[in-house]
Amino acid sequence: MTIKVGDKLPAANFMTFTADGPAPLASDALFGGKTVALFAVPGAFTPTCSAKHLPGFKQHAAELKAKGVDTIACVSVNDVFVMKAWAKDQGITDEVVMLADGNGDFTRAIGLELDGSKFGMGSRSQRYSLVAKDGVVEQLNVEAGGEFKVSSADYLLEHL
């Protein structure tokens, strides 16, 4: 079942890259007591994700925070090393927390898995954005297949 507005996000462990190397980040630590803008991409280094999606959140980070967002996070069904390399390629420092959902556990748990096998990509995440307060979904914007409209930073800003 797909997550919806009003639902609590499920417990999950993401991998992040820290100064000490790869480290787990529990969803409770990420979402607990905070307002989080989370967006998901089908894959790091893919065209729309690299040209528009991640750059938009980097560009609008200060505006999102001015509207009450404590943390901006990007999740993808990629491994932590790919997410680290993508962050470096995109010039991401601390504006966006890069979350690796390498096995797709979180993505499956919220019902937003995408079958990319016909493109040789296996299971991935649908493109979406959401706002969660203390782990409860307050806004959810899931893209129709192949589109990039409602999950953008611009759209999220307009609806905060």
User: pLDDT, tens digit, for every residue of 119-142?
Assistant: 767 678 999 999 999 999 999 999
Total structural domains in the chain?
Answer: 1
Asked if residue 44 lies in contact with residue 80, where contact means CB atoms within 8 angstroms, the answer is no
Residue 79 counted as domain residue: yes
Q: Report if residue 118 sits inside a domain.
A: yes
- Supply the range of the domain harboring residue 48: 13-158
Whether the model clears a pTM of 0.75, i.e. scores above it, the answer is: yes
Query: Residue 1: inside a domain, yes or no?
Result: no
Q: What is the CATH number of the domain that holds 20?
A: 3.40.30.10
What are the φ/ψ torsions at residue 34 (nearest 5 degrees)?
A: -130, 160
Query: Which of the 8 DSSP states describes residue 8?
Result: B
**Which of the residues 37, 38, 41, 49 is marked catalytic?**
49
Does 114 map to a domain?
A: yes
Summarize the confidence of residues 15-19 as an average pLDDT.
94
On whether residue 7 sits in a domain, the answer given is no
Whether 49 is catalytic is yes
In a domain, 154, yes or no: yes
